A and B are shown apart, each in its own frame.
Chain A
Amino acid sequence: MAGGARRLILHFDWTLFILVLALAGIGLVSVISASYAGAHQVLDPLVIRQLIWIAAGVAAMLIAVLVDYRVLEAYAYPFYVAVIGLLIAVMISGHATGGSRRWINLGVFHLEPSELAKLAVVLVMVRYLREEPPRDGWGLRHMIIPFILLGIPAALVLKQPDLGTGLILVLITITLVFVSGLNLRTMLVLAMAATLAAPLSWHYLKPYQRQRLVSFINPQADPLGSGYHIIQSEIAIGAGGPFGKGFLKGTQARLNFLPEQSTDFIFAVFAEEFGLAGALLLLTLYASVIARGAWIARHARDRFGALLAVGLTAIVFWQVAVNVGMATGMLPVVGITLPLVSYGGSSLIAMMAAMGILISINTRRYLF
């Protein structure tokens, strides 16, 4: 495969690779800001760990590039089953923080299987939807299998509870079903059903989740309670102004007015210190990744590759949308990481591996 390796290097997608590194770099800078506690300690252990995760993530990405993505077709279901197993394991003996069980303690590493669940759902959906749909598109009966494939991990994730990942699983499934050719009439029926079901879901929300929804609709109703997160995040972003307060000069983060500042609210940390200019740069980088992902999807050599590219890009997009929407007060508080930027090993490595697969799809459109 000497020729293959050579071509691999020749057609390597440097654009996407550099975009991913740039985002990880912004992530590192933001984690430094978020964990900064004063001049006496610049490098928090958190920063060191994030560096290690980035290194591991780059390795995972390159390995993913080397692997022919078509192999994944075969591994889709086994991987899916394995992830379901991990999610069940989390339920039984997971490591709990802040009221939810999300992690499996692997000694050196706390694995968060819900991060893998996103990849697993994308793979298994694409595996199922790679078949050409009938002329008039997928009908309702074709949606039974995707519904089950989504339902199992989604239920397990919601049980943790991890509303954010559950939401992302639903959104990427909808995206893939839509792109792969859902009948528009069926789409309408499903949308109506979802609208009718929405009020019922209120009963399945935990009290804190209901509170978040109320706070989202009116943050001032309880400014020191659950509305606090939204208000403090908006203040941080707004106080950043056009050009930001400067690196390490954000007070909202340093003085801990921001909740979950190295993970869920890292966008606010970055926007406070680097302002509108920095925030727009960050959004532009994400937009570039998405544009690149869409381009790869359109140029993929087969339907599986194209849909896989769409699915992986959708993970990035929806996480950014939910995270930034939440930080800017446009969406209710849902715990979700900002892909490639937020602190966290599982999230970063899984996301970089996903980007590796995307590069692999792009690289292999030339290899027959």
Chain B
Amino acid sequence: MKFRIPKSNRPVPRLEPRIVALTVLMFAIFALFSVRLYYLQVLHHQENVELADRNRIRLQRMPAPRGLVFDRNHRPLVDTRPSFDAQLVPEDSDNLSLTIERLERYTGGDHIADKISDADEEGRPPYEPVTVAERLGWQQVVALETHQLELPGVSLQITPARHYPYGELAAHLLGYVGEVTKNDLIEKTDYHMGDEIGKFGLERVWEGFLRGEAGGQEIEVDAVGRRLRVLKEIADTPGQSIVMTLDLNLQQAAEQAMAGKNGAFVALDPRNGDVLAMVSHPAFDPDIFGGGVKASAWRELTTDPNHPLENRVIQGIYPPGSTFKIVDSIAGLEEGTLNPATAYNCPGGLWYGGREYHCWRKQGHGTIELHDAIVRSCDVYFYNVGEKLGIDRLAKWANQLGLGAKTGIDLDHENPGTIPSSAWKQKRFHERWYPAETLSVAIGQGYVATTPLQMAQVAAEVANGGIRYRPQFVKYVEGLDGNIAKSYPPVIENRIKIDPDALEVIKDAMADVVNGAGGTAHKAHLDDVIVCGKTGTAQVVGSNAPVGESEEEDKTPDQFKDHAWFIAFAPKDHPTIAAACIIEHGGHGGSASAPVIHDVFQRYFQLNPPPPKPEIARVLEDSPPSQ
């Protein structure tokens, strides 16, 4: 049955050429498609795979919990706690302005609409939540939970937040954290918008250890941005912990002793430079910086005339006043221009270069030797000591003791202070040094300026016989396994040989300042430990009152009162603590600063009872963990 029509006999021969032409055209177009497909699927395959993945995969960083900070006895000073943040997905709210209005009512927050528009401006993809309120209190969390149905698109997010359980305690030392700024991001490429970063104090300097490594999630989203599932999760590595040299109990005692006063206190271990306590008042609450500091709070802190953000221990520079007489004594004894038996007569003043330099005691001290001159803080005696030394030798020893230079403590913005010399004056004022100026320097006035930390070091150097340790406040970094990841052994910055006999004279005198007849700091006396100290009064510019050194209360108005210094160490033999305290406008060192040191030392010896025998004391010392 089957038969073929011969080609020539096809019924529609006239159509044939054009059908063939058409078929050729169609095949040519298909060939073109094949080329195009090859181009897209083979030549540009990888590129398109990346584009497809970028479409659907969103990276979500999960910051690691920050390391903790402990005191020397491993009590937490800074920790990380869960904090409740409110998030809003604007796309999920059908009446956004109403939702925002309610949200502001329940959280007490404001500018929520601005936060959303800011996020949108920064390129927030749809369905990406915006954090609209951070660190919500319990009341606010409850309010949001109970009104959940009125708040479409709002959810609570738990994030780790820095917490300072003791508030203002050691705020300047611990520092604070805050959101990374746009400037930070330029140099720190491993940080991302919204990350937390240490801004000040220990939080800033030990940022590298505390931060840890952020984890992350790859989240698959659909075309409108709804999150569908987690594709990949990279676990975070929590930050390492810091164990400080600080003693929480001692710090608390110091904070309490300084309560209501402006000034600074610092206590060091003269055996290794450990910072045992450090207070700068007024302070601030580091918690207010977490979760975006409120503009009003920030303005209040930065415009406060008392500069609460300044760490007075290292940034505050004050004339050392009579505490500088310890420096004079060491310089004189070392240079041989002074010996314990050197005697000068104090008639109440000294005529020099055509003008009279007063002693604080108008009636004078009579003829006295070094011991009494320190105990009674005779100005005339030390005018003579200074005059004998000359400014440059005095400056040399002051520098040897660490004054006029940064101590090297691991904190930012340390002020080196000023120790004048003839070269310094030439350079600074293009003027020669007048010998009369040495007299002012000798009693810690004039151009001399020191920080409380430097003066605490002077006390520590007298205590340990001339070794200058770099002040350190971190004992070690604790790794995640609980072992020591990095330790900070004592660093000796300088060692001066003070003749033991001469040193003993200074120590005896300093003991009598606190304990002896005619001493200026009886308020620092402790019953079972011999405290050694030296008072000082730093003249406030504009004050006309004479520089006094008595224990009597100063009656001048506060803003004209002088700054009160006291430096001390204890026990007299084998000292374990040295400290400096300055109370701004406190009046006399003996009446204002000595009680602070008294309270702190008393607490210290409660916590660390003085050993009955000095030999045992060495064994009982808590040595740095690296040793």
A interface, CB within 8 angstroms of B: 7, 10, 132, 175, 178-181, 232, 234-242, 251-252, 255-257, 271, 275-276, 279-280, 283, 286-287, 290-291, 294, 297-303, 306-307, 310, 314, 317, 321, 324-325, 328-330, 365
Contacts and interface: CB of A to CB of B under 8 A. Distances in A.
A294 B33 contact: no
A99 to B, nearest CB: 20
A291 B45 contact: no
Nearest to A182: B18
A276 B32 CA distance: 14
Contacts of A302: 11-12
B186 interface: no
Q: Is the contact region of chain B dominated by helix, strand, or loop, or is it mixed?
A: helix
Contacts, number: 138
Nearest to B22: A179
B18 A280 contact: no
Contacts of B27: 287, 290
A10 B2 CA distance: 10
B259 interface: no
A253 B16 CA distance: 43
B620 interface: no
B34 A283 contact: yes
Given A181-B14, A297-B15, 13 more contacts: A179-B22, A234-B48, A235-B52, A238-B49, A257-B222, A286-B30, A294-B23, A298-B12, A302-B12, A303-B11, A306-B19, A329-B36, A330-B33
A279 B15 contact: no
A178 to B, nearest CB: 6
Contact of A238 (B5, B18, B48): B48
Nearest to A232: B55
Interface in B37-58: 37-38, 40-42, 44-45, 47-49, 51-53, 55-56
8 contacts: A236-B48, A242-B42, A256-B224, A287-B30, A299-B5, A310-B22, A328-B37, A328-B40
Contacts of A179: 15, 18-19, 22
A302 B19 CA distance: 14
B297 to A, nearest CB: 40
- Which of A132, A239, A283, A302 has the largest count of B CB atoms less than 10 A from its CB? A239
Given A255-B55, A280-B37, A286-B30, A299 B10 contact: yes
B53 to A, nearest CB: 8
B228 interface: yes
A297 B23 CA distance: 11
Given A235-B55, A255-B56, A306 B15 contact: yes
- Which of A235, A241, A290, A301 has the largest count of B CB atoms less than 10 A from its CB? A235
Contacts of B23: 290-291, 294
- Which of B16, B52, B220 has the largest count of A CB atoms less than 10 A from its CB? B52
Contacts of B220: 251, 255
B22 A255 contact: no
Given A238-B47, A255-B220, A283-B33, A298 B40 contact: no
B35 to A, nearest CB: 10
Q: Which 7 A-B pairs have the closest CB atoms?
A: A238-B48, A239-B52, A256-B223, A255-B222, A238-B40, A276-B41, A306-B12
Given A239-B45, A283-B30, A283-B33, A257 B55 contact: yes
B26 interface: yes
Contact of A257 (B16, B38, B49, B223): B223
B341 interface: no
Contacts of B89: none
A137 B589 CA distance: 122
Contacts of A365: 5
B38 to A, nearest CB: 7
B45 A241 contact: yes
A205 to B, nearest CB: 24
Contacts of B56: 251, 255, 257
B221 interface: yes
A317 B11 contact: no
Contact of B223 (A255, A324, A328): A255
B15 A328 contact: no
Contacts of B221: 255
A181 B17 CA distance: 10
Given A306-B15, A310-B22, A330-B36, A271 B223 contact: no
Given A255-B222, A294-B22, A300-B11, A239 B49 contact: yes
Given A252-B55, A310-B19, A330-B36, A290 B49 contact: no
Contact of A325 (B16, B22, B26, B33): B33
B29 interface: yes
B40 A234 contact: yes
Contact of B41 (A7, A240, A297, A299): A240
B471 to A, nearest CB: 58
A313 B136 CA distance: 69
B149 interface: no
- Which of A286, A297, A365 has the largest count of B CB atoms less than 10 A from its CB? A297
A256 B222 contact: yes
Contacts of A298: 10, 12, 15-16, 19-20
A237 B40 contact: yes
A238 B44 contact: yes
Contacts of A321: 26, 29
Contacts of B26: 287, 290, 317, 321
B1 interface: yes
Contacts of A238: 40-41, 44-45, 47-49, 51
Given A178-B18, A255-B222, A256-B224, A280 B48 contact: no
A276 B38 contact: yes
A235 to B, nearest CB: 5
Contacts of A132: 14
A300 B51 CA distance: 50
Contacts of B12: 297-298, 300, 302-303, 306
B11 A324 contact: no
A299 B15 CA distance: 11
A181 B32 CA distance: 27
B624 to A, nearest CB: 57
Contact of A297 (B19, B36, B55): B19
Contacts of A180: 15
A328 B36 CA distance: 7
A181 B18 contact: yes
A7 B3 CA distance: 13
A39 to B, nearest CB: 11
A307 B11 CA distance: 12
A237 B41 contact: yes
